Amino acid sequence: MYTEAMGTAQALHQTLESLHARKDDWVRVPLEQRIRYLGSAMTRLLQVAPHWVDEANRHRKIDPDSPTAGEEWISGPVVILRQLRLLRRNLQALETTGKPVPVAVRPGPGDRSIARVLPSGLVDRLVYRAHHAELWTTPGGGGARARIYREKAGGHSPAGKVALVLGAGNISSIAPLDLIHKLMVEDQVVVLKMNPVNEFLAPYLEQVFEDMIDAGFLRIVTGGPDTGKYLCDHPAVDTIHLTGSRATYEAITADKPITAELGCVTPILVVPGRWSPSDLKRQALNIAGMVTHNASFNCNAGKVLVLDQGWDQREALLELIQSALAAAPQRYPYYPGAEERYARYMEQYPAAIKLGAAGSSSIPWTFIPGVRPDPEEYALRVEPFCGVLSEVSLEGSGDPDAFLINAVRLANDSIEGDLACMIISDLTIPIDQAIHNLRYGGIAVNAWAGMNFGLGNTHWGAAPGNTPESIGSGTGSVHNCFLFDAPEKSVVYAPFRSWPKPVWFPDHRTLPALGRALAKYEGTGSTPALIRTVTAAVRG
């Protein structure tokens, strides 16, 4: 059970010993019981969600009556409920047919397989209108799914393991989604250590996952770096997963398997086209929202805008992006170290343009023009993890095909990280080759890569191939509710003129109502909740 006293060595030792004693029992828990655990978590999350959202907004100093207060609904309870629902549906399919929910799989380049994972059903077609998503597997990986469940069905049960999840401090859904993945996809019992930034959520998580805690398969603890080090080094811990900084990853000295998501200097590649005035305004809001969501404390927040110097609409778009950022509500910099990171950026770029009044925040939205396309450039190497957007314009004549080749090369070779990348294109030219060539775990076309994180149909993690010596954005992946054995990258496609308004747009007006309705729908499948969801989305 979670208590504030869990930081003592004796209590931590007892916690790990209790999990160690249950790890082999978890492997033998049948699908029917796992499905019940997921359903129970959904029911309990719906009960605590309003209090969870209020508490998170209070800690982040967000006006509870503002549209911004709905962000927590969408990126917290809604995302978790959706992934619980999708995972439960796939386990139900395994129980009844021996196979996960079917998806269409086609051959991809280089001996890859590409699975169409969104839309998955009629309601997806309605809620995610005109969107689709693919999951690419690694070369030779095929479309195989649910390895641990296939092996157990064949009589080959693995030995149990204890997983330590070092939770993130920014998006509230990260830690619970990580523990769900470890339990249900990797078959490991879990001790979750909350990040001090959002450890106030621990009592809510304890309520949500009460059944698995009571059964001895999950524990939630709090504490600082000393607690984290003790847990990492303890012999009862078999594997570690963390979402955080590279410094945290490098501080772990334990000799055991580690998976990690370590952030990214996320690029936005804007393909030249012939855009109408309304297109320019809409894409400026799209880009601004990629920066401003959650005060820009996101590992997939837009950080480097890549444009063609010769595109005749470049200046118009840049002006509209700055206007959109200036009009966006300012945010309280709740994440530790934000002011220091921002100050270091301002030392590097004294000509940076500060947009809007800082208000209660010491960090206004900030735009840095004219950054050089040089791999040694500070803005391409260092993730600001605050509300800063840099601009790099490549030499060119406005030719979209030539730009994509050069922009992909820049993203792959000169910009730090390989977690997420966005492409904005009117899709009048093919972009398939660019998708293939981009070495990123998540790619979003005309959308924010927050969709790759939140859909659950997709997986979430860095591009495969990183090593401890060259860790990039980390190793391994999570979410993956469709249970693919060998995910390489997830690609989300949105229409260039998306409607209704995406939830990350900074001028969205109905986020609280939309979030409450969508949570109800994801948690219950209620038709009235679906109607309220569509109504709120249209009014946004």
Torsions phi, psi of 365, nearest 5?
Answer: -55, 135
Query: One digit per residue, pLDDT tens: the chain, 540 residues?
Result: 444 445 589 999 999 999 999 999 999 999 999 999 999 999 999 999 999 999 999 999 999 999 999 999 999 999 999 999 999 999 999 999 999 999 999 999 999 999 999 998 877 887 888 999 999 999 998 899 999 999 999 999 889 999 999 999 999 999 999 999 999 999 999 999 999 999 999 999 999 999 999 999 999 999 999 999 999 999 999 999 999 999 999 999 999 999 999 999 999 999 999 999 999 999 999 999 999 999 999 999 999 999 999 999 999 999 999 999 999 999 999 999 999 999 999 999 999 999 986 565 679 999 999 999 999 999 999 999 999 999 999 999 999 999 999 999 999 999 999 999 999 999 999 999 999 999 999 999 999 999 999 999 999 999 999 999 999 999 999 999 999 999 999 999 999 998 999 999 999 999 999 999 999 999 999 999 999 999 999 999
Q: CA neighbours within 13 Å on the CB side: how many for 351?
A: 6
pLDDT at 7: 56
pLDDT at 358: 58
Q: How far apart are CA 214 and CA 300, in angstroms?
A: 35
pLDDT at 195: 97
Lookup result for tokens 């729908």: 521
Helix residue ranges, H only, 98-218: 122-127, 147-153, 174-184, 202-208, 210-214
Question: Amino acid identity of 165?
Answer: V
Write out the E strands in 429-530. Answer: 442-445, 459-461, 474-475, 477-479, 487-493
Q: How far apart are CA 453 and CA 458, in angstroms?
A: 7
Cβ-contact 110, 139 below 8 angstroms: yes
Q: How far apart are CA 368 and CA 250, in angstroms?
A: 30
Helix, strand and coil content of the chain, in percent to the nearest 5, comes to 45, 20, 35
Question: Which candidate, 481, 487, 445, places its Cα nearest to that of 463?
Answer: 487
Report residue 267 as tokens: 């690029």
Torsions phi, psi of 383, nearest 5?
Answer: -75, 120
Cβ-contact 384, 341 below 8 angstroms: yes
Angle between helices 225-233 and 9-27 (to 10 degrees): 50
Torsions phi, psi of 291, nearest 5?
Answer: -90, -45
- Give, rounded to a whole angstrom, the gap between the first and last alpha carbons of the chain: 41
Q: Domains (ranges, CATH) in the chain?
A: 4-107+146-262 (3.40.605.10), 266-493 (3.40.309.10)
pLDDT at 3: 42
In 10 A of CB 121, how many CB atoms?
Answer: 11
Tell me the whole-structure pTM to 2 decimals.
0.97
